[in-house]
Structure 1
Amino acid sequence: MSTIKVQSIINSSQYYEYIDDGNPKQGGVKDVYFDPNRKYVVAFFRDPLDFNQKDRIKKIVTLYLENIKKGNASDYYLNDIFRWPYDAVENNGKTGVIVPIYDSKFFFKKGYCSNETIKGGEKVGKWFTSPSFRNKNYPLSLDKNELGDWLSYFQIAINICRGVKKLHQMGLAHSDLSYNNVLVDPVSKSAVIIDIDGLVVPGLFPPEVIGTADFIAPEVLTTKHLKISDSNRILPNQKTDLHALAVLIYMYLFRRHPLRGGKIWDLDSEKDELFAMGEKAIFVEHPTDHTNRVKVDHLKKWDINWGDPKKVPFTIVGPYLTDLFKRAFIDGLHNPILRPIANEWETALLKTVDLIQPCQNPSCDEKWYVFDNTANPKCPFCGTAHKGTLPVIDLYYKFKDEVWKPEGHRLMAYHNQYLFKWHVSRHVIRNENLTTEDKKPVGYFTFYQNKWVLVNQTLNGMKDLTDKKDIPINSMVELTDGKKILLSNEEGGRLLYITLTNK
């Protein structure tokens, strides 16, 4: 074992150290070594890089890194969303990148229920996109303390969307977005995008790979037989990123693949794969074309609940995400221009989180579900019906004097749920730019003395328009059917309209 010192190829006065014990951690194309203080890793490409590849690496650790630092929410992106390389080195003819070490939460604390063979291993996203690893009857099921609950995967998806959104805003494409290049921690609801040294810059840096199986866009597979120089050949780009993003979100929320159904296109497995994921790809939950429906009798015994879309259909995520999944896997599957962009996914995920209800069954593995807009809602995972009344809160905005219009945004109250500034005002957008002050709750809903109430914590000017009275700070208002509550009389302020369901 030896400590090796290497020099930056960006700044000749900068040096880095790493420990070489002869057994580096091996990735797909890189060998990874840790620095003695475990603050960063040095990841060397196994094969020598050509001039263009080196130039790409230099741009990533200088120009594009600086663009993030100068942009909005830079600390958030560099600490919470990306593990962005910040320098490049050379040793014995090989090029390496300096990357911040992963946060400890992205390593398994225990791993499997039955043994600890993956303890300390990276929480690569693929561990959390299959039902197998969370079924107690499966020999390699993960310890339940590693899994989080269904709500965890909404925030994980939001983080990934923000990362893709940022790359695309910078004119970049990831080119190989998959569950192998995302680390997740469902317990803290965190996700970080890794391995971003292959970024695509249209017209400058072409893609190095066509992607990872399961996430390669149909148009890339359909044209892969053509020469790179052929103008009809489709290579990874921002539109193919959007296909991979939709697949990732679907797999995190439903733990199955949107295109892997029961249809066999060719007895030759390689040709069948090309058809199923490429030219003939069909959404397994296509509402009118049943060609690729999942055959339940083919499912493994531990996959049955999640593998069968009839039991857990994609529509359980509510209207906002259902619409985007249709656009991604029906309209845009073979027409890339129609695919939802990352910002649309982020917005739909955030609005869907406002529809989430806690399951009243303490033994439910998923703990949460999306309100299904019925008079008698129930958890789609365990079948437990909601008991008691349920406040449905529609947000309205002032269109003009005395004219209020629906925002197209609904909030489902539950016991001790918070109200935030982004609910109060149209001028506060729930995204990565929120200040610490903006993230503080301004009120909360609670079930008190057999009544639903909203407690005002910090809002000046909150009014009960139905009973025509003020709701001062530190007081409460009962949520009754048809109640109208003005949250703010300032420009952009919203009004709540209450409907009590399940009465």
Structure 2
Amino acid sequence: MAKNKNKLMAKLADGTRVAYLPEIIGEGSEGVVHFTADRKSVIKFYKDDDDLRDPERMERIINIVEKYNPTLDTRSGEYWKKLYCWPDGLVVSPKLGVRVPIYPKNFFTNDGTEKKLSWFVNPKSRKLIPQEERGTWLGHLQMAITMARSTRRLHSAGLAHSDLSYNNFLGDPVNGMTVMIDLDGLVVPGLHPPKIAGTPGLIAPEVIMGTAEPSIRTDLHALAVLIYQTLMFRHPLRGPKVNSTVSAEEDEKLSMGKNALFIEHPLNKSNRPKGLATGYECLGPYLSELITQSFVSSLHMPDNRPTAMDWETALVRTTDLIYPCGCEMKWFVLSKSTNYTCPFCKQKPRAPYVPSLHFYREQPGKPGNFLNEKHRLVVWHGLYLYKWHVFDNIWPGENVDKTPQGYFVYHNYEWYLYNIEMNLTIIDNGLHRNVAKGQYVKLIEGLQLRLSSDPRGRLLLTQFLKV
């Protein structure tokens, strides 16, 4: 180990030599962390000297750095670099370790502290965060999307994290982003077993009960808890019910394990906190269905948990149901279940009528016949339409084109759609009338709009909600 101007040297498996600083900037149960000299990365050295002689540990890291690394994808690698701090080098000297890119700047406070997700999902700690760094409820919804998306990408490769938690996601609700960290211990079923059980409050009931090990299924429990808490600012299982008076540890084990009970369970209200003003139904139909599945019907049925893709789909669709508000949270889901009021401030939208556009897709092989997608778009002033709205086969994922296709305007108590890039037509009694690019169309009850006559182009049916 060479020393030069207060720098130390490490060697990667490919022979690259990396200078790092001697100060320890972080320490966990497994290792200690140093900045590289250029401060663009960190090096985590494992504490156990036997790790360097452990072929399983070595093979796990090599597979994570190379084989399973989504940031190396030629098409979407740059996108995944925003969602993961993925190890990019195996350190073999002076000890076994990994080199990991440093977190993006937006995940640090002005004084250099990491923005752990736990700050933002707990109401007490959230109040201590400066107003300008708290973000909005839309930012929380977007953070939930990125958590589901990064988890979905892991699971699609057959990997499990085994410790999805508030500490292993950093959060930025201002930009609506999360970044997943501590990826050097990923579980590869049948090849690399889990090293840890997880974080209290997020460990699946079956792991606590000792009937299962961390896996993709147990990740899905942790993901559901994280999403619920990110959107509702409370833990789904931590309620007033006491399951044991023997000890706090025994009560915790039962409350999160064998006797785990959803605080909003519709039939068993023994764990419901007093003064629970707003139920999860305020999140709209797509998320409500998955929350019911996660914490009511399948809390103790791991095989039936919603997948990360299920969550991502529901969260993305929910962004089409949000509406602006003047309160601190700025956004909410415009839902009949809350009588179209904001659950945070109990205020209604200012416009007396709000357009609700229902999506229809053309039936394959039957031109002119459309099927209801049971998906809708709530319109607000300044809302943009994108290609994933125009076409039924485009998903707003990691490689999507974000070029605006049109936008909505509220003017003199009337609603209009302005066409930017669409092949837009009005359908009236079977007749099609073109709306040229750069032109407006007034929205009226029952108006049918074909957003594109190209294959997979959607039809929108206009209805108005009286709020």
TM-score range, shorter chain: over 0.9
1:45 match? 46
Q: Does 1:349 align with 2:298?
A: no
1:125 match? 117
Partners of 2:191 and 2:164 in 1: CA distance:
20
Aligned match of 1:6 in 10, 34, 51? 10
Could you tell me whether the CA contact under 8 Å between 1:376 and 1:502 is conserved in 2?
no
Pair 262,41 (structure 1): closer, same or farther in 2 beyond 3 Å: same
Runs of 4 or more above 6 Å deviation: none
1:153 match? 140
2:368 match? 402
Q: Does 1:289 align with 2:268?
A: yes
**Which runs of 5 or more residues in structure 2 are unaligned?**
none
Partners of 2:407 and 2:73 in 1: CA distance:
36
Q: Counterparts in 2 of 1:261-340, with a 5 A limit?
A: 261-267=239-245, 268-294=247-273, 296=274, 308=275, 310-340=276-306
1:20 match? 22
Pair 335,74 (structure 1): closer, same or farther in 2 beyond 3 Å: same
Provide TM-score, normalisation by structure 2. Answer: 0.94
Could you tell me whether the CA contact under 8 Å between 2:21 and 2:36 is conserved in 1?
yes
1:475 match? 439
Provide TM-score, normalisation by structure 1. Answer: 0.87
1:204 match? 191
Partners of 1:386 and 1:427 in 2: CA distance:
32
Partners of 2:135 and 2:19 in 1: CA distance:
37
Could you tell me whether the CA contact under 8 Å between 1:375 and 1:501 is conserved in 2?
no
What letter is aligned with 2:334?
Answer: F
Q: Does 1:433 align with 2:432?
A: no
Partners of 2:22 and 2:262 in 1: CA distance:
47
Q: 1:117-172, CA deviations, whole angstroms, 9 ceiling, x for partnerless residues?
A: xx31000111111011233xxxxx11111110000011111111111111111111
Aligned match of 2:152 in 156, 159, 165? 165
Pair 374,270 (structure 1): closer, same or farther in 2 beyond 3 Å: closer
Partners of 2:126 and 2:25 in 1: CA distance:
30
Partners of 2:143 and 2:411 in 1: CA distance:
33
Could you tell me whether the CA contact under 8 Å between 1:84 and 1:194 is conserved in 2?
yes
Partners of 1:27 and 1:187 in 2: CA distance:
28
* Aligned-residue offset at 1:443: 0.3
Aligned match of 1:418 in 384, 389, 393? 384
Could you tell me whether the CA contact under 8 Å between 1:443 and 1:454 is conserved in 2?
yes
Partners of 1:464 and 1:402 in 2: CA distance:
11
Partners of 1:172 and 1:375 in 2: CA distance:
39
Partners of 2:368 and 2:393 in 1: CA distance:
20
What letter is aligned with 2:216?
Answer: Q
Partners of 1:211 and 1:341 in 2: CA distance:
19
Partners of 2:220 and 2:181 in 1: CA distance:
17
Q: 1:100-133, CA deviations, whole angstroms, 9 ceiling, x for partnerless residues?
A: 0111110012xxxxxxxxx310001111110112
Aligned match of 2:235 in 251, 257, 270? 257
| Higher mean displacement: 27-36 or 160-169 | 27-36
Partners of 2:457 and 2:55 in 1: CA distance:
55
Partners of 2:423 and 2:193 in 1: CA distance:
54
1:108 match? 109
* Aligned-residue offset at 1:208: 0.4
How many residues were matched structurally?
Answer: 455
**Which runs of 5 or more residues in structure 1 are unaligned?**
110-118, 136-140, 224-232, 297-307
Q: The residue matched to 2:217 in structure 1 has which SS?
A: helix
Q: 1:163-193, CA deviations, whole angstroms, 9 ceiling, x for partnerless residues?
A: 1111111111101110100011111111110
Q: The residue matched to 1:354 in structure 2 has which SS?
A: helix
Q: Counterparts in 2 of 1:47-62, with a 5 A limit?
A: 47-48=48-49, 49=51, 50-62=54-66
What letter is aligned with 2:385?
Answer: L
Could you tell me whether the CA contact under 8 Å between 2:282 and 2:338 is conserved in 1?
no
What letter is aligned with 1:88?
Answer: L
What letter is aligned with 2:405?
Answer: V
Pair 376,58 (structure 1): closer, same or farther in 2 beyond 3 Å: closer
Task: Report the aligned-residue RMSD.
Answer: 1.7
Could you tell me whether the CA contact under 8 Å between 1:451 and 1:478 is conserved in 2?
yes
The percent identity for this pair of structures is 39
Partners of 2:278 and 2:178 in 1: CA distance:
25
